[in-house]
């Protein structure tokens, strides 16, 4: 998020001496993206962030592809993913390509005996059920139902849940996740026509310095492998930091819908962008107000992209028998549209209370073995009269 932020204590000039009360130096670290050409932060540690005690054997968490090529409207019943105690083990990738991985997770327990770092992908963790705290060296972010947690690559974090009933929809992006360019001016500020603004952004707060020695397990993900590292000092030993590279959050409930006299296309719902895909938020809103408007969406042929909808809450006028946590995948190459009877039924309705997350990737998505386990095999027939 291109918004300057700072927490804790930092020296008046960067790359200068910054000493502890005992006279020794704090350790400065530059966390930079795209080499030295994009967003970065400067972090000051109690100890150098490089003291590795042991390195364990890496193990694979690479998605297992079950259906690489397909042309079939597909539905996945997301809440059929069974809860598991561990946060990482609960993450089940279901739809993947070379730009992003989409996963479902239902962790029951907080991360207490290890820390996690995704070293090559930004993560967007949508909180469907549950609440808690995202803990990082940059500070903490409280989260609840409807929050998008945006965790940039390289961020070491822990998820602390308030209870055991948690449902997460996770996007791993191999390119930076940012607000859409058309909503930002040349200085990065969100403009007046943007459906959300800086006041809606949740920033890290309550920085606590953990000045501790010991054995600290950090599980680091890179190229489909998890590397178990044991560090000699606590990873949250930040004395202070400043910059533009840090985790942040946005609630889907703070996304202000853009409406019109006639049906508005999906780009008005765009919330984030990555390379070759977008993330959109469908929220409660007034329907079209032209006297002859048809609120239900028209039939649509995806020529250049797949379309993924993750159903969160509410009623969906264009679909029959939608359940919470359901994912629909409408692949590029064949048309999709409202279910029979939905168009006529929508006429005259003034508003909707639907809540959903949409992802449009511009490369075809593959289904994993975990996806096949929760597939509604007859969904493609649901347009029959």
pLDDT tens-digit profile of 307-336? 999 999 987 765 667 899 999 999 999 999
Predicted confidence (pLDDT) at residue 54 exceeds the cutoff of 80? yes
Q: How far apart are CA 32 and CA 39, in angstroms?
A: 6
Would you state the pLDDT for residue 216?
98
Q: Decide if 41 contacts 217 (C-beta within 8 A).
A: no
- Domain spans in the chain, listed from the N-terminal domain onward: 29-63+82-252, 260-381
- 10 Å Cβ neighbour count for 44? 22
Q: What percent of the chain has pLDDT over 70?
A: 98
Helix, strand or coil, per DSSP, at residue 15 = coil
Q: Can you give the pTM of this predicted structure?
A: 0.96
- 260-381: CATH topology: Jelly Rolls (2.60.120)
Would you state the pLDDT for residue 53?
98
Is 360 among the annotated ligand-binding positions?
A: no
Cα dihedral 266, 268, 272, 277, rounded to 10, equals 30
Q: Which two tokens stand for residue 91?
A: 């993450």
Q: How far apart are CA 227 and CA 117, in angstroms?
A: 10
Name the residue among 287, 297, 284 with its Cα closest to residue 328. 297
Q: How far apart are CA 75 and CA 63, in angstroms?
A: 19
Would you state the pLDDT for residue 1?
60
pLDDT digits (tens, 9 = 90+) for 260-274: 999 888 899 999 999
Residues in CB range of 124: below 8 A, 6 or more apart: 148, 149, 150, 151, 170, 171, 173, 177, 272, 279
Residue length of the chain: 385
pLDDT digits (tens, 9 = 90+) for 202-250: 999 999 999 999 999 999 999 999 999 999 999 999 999 999 999 999 9
Q: Which two tokens stand for residue 339?
A: 């279910």
Q: Count Cβ atoms within 10 A of the Cβ of residue 134 and give its class: 0-12 exposed, 13-18 middle, 19 or more buried.
A: buried
Provide the mean pLDDT of the chain: 95
Would you state the pLDDT for residue 242?
98
pLDDT digits (tens, 9 = 90+) for 350-364: 888 899 999 999 999
CA atoms within 13 A on the CB side of 189: 3
CATH architecture of 29-63+82-252: Sandwich (2.60)
Q: Tell me phi and psi for residue 89, to 5 degrees.
A: -65, -25
Q: To which residue do tokens 């297992």 refer?
A: 64
Would you state the pLDDT for residue 218?
98
When pLDDT is cut at 50, 70 and 90, the band that residue 348 belongs to is: confident
Q: Tell me phi and psi for residue 17, to 5 degrees.
A: -60, 130
Name the residue among 129, 65, 148 with its Cα closest to residue 101. 65
Q: How far apart are CA 131 and CA 336, in angstroms?
A: 35
Q: How far apart are CA 49 and CA 52, in angstroms?
A: 9
Q: Give me the catalytic one of 45, 128, 253, 263.
A: 263
Q: Which long-range contacts (C-beta less than 8 Å, at least 24 apart) are formed by 48-51?
A: 49/231, 49/233, 49/235, 51/231, 51/232, 51/233
Active site (annotated) includes residue 253:
no
Q: How far apart are CA 241 and CA 7, in angstroms?
A: 6
Q: How far apart are CA 350 and CA 36, in angstroms?
A: 50
Examine domains 29-63+82-252 and 260-381 and report if their fold is the same: yes
Would you state the pLDDT for residue 258?
92
Is 300 among the annotated ligand-binding positions?
A: yes
pLDDT digits (tens, 9 = 90+) for 61-102: 999 999 999 999 999 999 999 999 999 999 999 999 999 999
Q: Decide if 287 contacts 317 (C-beta within 8 A).
A: no
Q: Which two tokens stand for residue 50?
A: 């490089």
Q: Decide if 244 contacts 178 (C-beta within 8 A).
A: no
How wide is the angle at C-alpha 231 spanned by C-alphas 227 and 235, nearest 5°? 100
Would you state the pLDDT for residue 209?
98
Please compute the mean of the pLDDT values over residues 36-52 and round it to a whole number.
Answer: 96
Residues in CB range of 342: below 8 A, 6 or more apart: 296, 317, 318, 319, 320
Please compute the mean of the pLDDT values over residues 125-146 and round it to a whole number.
Answer: 98
Q: Which two tokens stand for residue 196?
A: 């959300």
Dihedral over Cα of 45, 47, 48, 54: its sign:
negative
Helix, strand or coil, per DSSP, at residue 345 = helix
Bridge partners for 147 per DSSP:
251
Is 336 among the annotated ligand-binding positions?
A: yes
């Amino acid at each position: 998020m291109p918004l300057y932020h700072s927490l804790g204590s930092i020296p008046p000039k960067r790359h200068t001496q910054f000493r502890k009360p005992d006279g020794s130096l704090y350790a400065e670290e530059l966390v930079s993206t795209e080499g030295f050409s994009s967003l970065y932060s400067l972090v000051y540690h109690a100890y150098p962030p490089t003291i590795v005690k042991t390195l364990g054997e890496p193990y694979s968490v690479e998605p297992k592809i079950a259906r690489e090529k397909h042309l079939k409207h597909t539905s996945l019943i997301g809440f059929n993913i069974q809860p598991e105690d561990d946060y990482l083990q609960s993450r089940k990738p279901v739809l993947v390509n070379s730009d992003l991985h989409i996963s479902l997770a239902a962790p029951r327990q907080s991360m207490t005996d290890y820390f996690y770092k995704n070293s090559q992908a930004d993560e967007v963790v949508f909180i469907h059920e549950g609440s808690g705290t995202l803990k990082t060296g940059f500070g903490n972010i409280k989260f609840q139902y409807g929050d998008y947690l945006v965790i940039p690559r390289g961020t070491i974090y822990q998820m602390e849940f308030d209870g055991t009933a948690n449902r997460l929809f996770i996007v791993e992006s191999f390119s930076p996740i940012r607000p859409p360019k058309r909503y930002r001016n040349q200085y990065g500020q969100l403009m007046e026509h943007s459906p959300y603004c800086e006041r809606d952004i949740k920033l890290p707060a309550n920085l606590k310095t953990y000045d501790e020695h010991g054995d600290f397990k950090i599980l680091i993900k890179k190229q489909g492998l998890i590397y178990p590292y044991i560090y000699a000092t606590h990873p949250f030993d930040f004395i202070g930091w400043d910059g533009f590279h840090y985790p942040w959050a946005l609630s889907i409930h703070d996304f202000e819908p853009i409406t019109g006299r006639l049906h508005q296309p999906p780009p008005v719902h765009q919330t984030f962008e990555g390379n070759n895909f977008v993330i959109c938020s469908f929220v409660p809103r007034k329907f079209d107000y032209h006297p002859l408007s048809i609120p239900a969406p028209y039939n649509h042929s995806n020529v250049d992209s797949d379309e993924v909808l993750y159903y969160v809450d509410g009623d969906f006028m264009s679909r029959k028998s939608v359940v919470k946590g359901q994912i629909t995948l409408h692949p590029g190459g064949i048309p999709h549209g409202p279910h029979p009877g939905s168009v006529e039924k929508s006429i005259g309705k003034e508003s909707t209370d639907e809540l959903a997350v949409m992802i449009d990737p511009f490369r075809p998505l593959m289904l994993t073995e975990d996806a096949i386990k929760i597939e509604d095999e007859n969904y493609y027939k649901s347009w029959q009269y």
